Amino acid sequence: MSKMSKNNITEFYGKIDNSREFDYKFWQQQSPIQIFQAAYEMICDYLLLKENNVNEPRLQRSVESFQKI
């Protein structure tokens, strides 16, 4: 159970297939804050696995500066 759904447990019984209906219903029931919190947690998990560091996620900086042409 994730942090964002402590009071709401959703279970699915049935054949596992490529249907995403269960996922769509689950995420549509979540508030925008809960969705962003889940996305942030996934970013932190990724950083912990790949870089062994979760101090502060950083945005990729591919643009150095803007100049008027």
Is residue 42 a part of any domain in this protein?
Answer: yes
Most confident of 19-23, 38-42, 49-53: 38-42
Q: Is residue 39 part of a domain?
A: yes
Is residue 60 situated within a structural domain?
no
Share of the chain above pLDDT 70, in %: 74
Residues 6+ apart with CB under 8 A from 12: 22
The dihedral of CA 58, 59, 64, 67: what is its sign? negative
Residue 43 domain flag? yes
- pLDDT of 35 reads 92
The yes-or-no verdict on residue 56 having pLDDT over 70 is: no
Query: Among residues 8, 6, 3, 7, which one has the least CA distance to residue 41?
Result: 3
Comparing 32 with 1, the larger pLDDT belongs to: 32
Structural domain containing residue 44: 31-55
Q: How far apart are CA 18 and CA 31, in angstroms?
A: 25
| Domain count of the fold of the chain | 1
Residue 2 falls inside a structural domain: no
Asked if residue 68 belongs to a domain, the reply is no
- The answer to whether position 17 is within a domain reads no
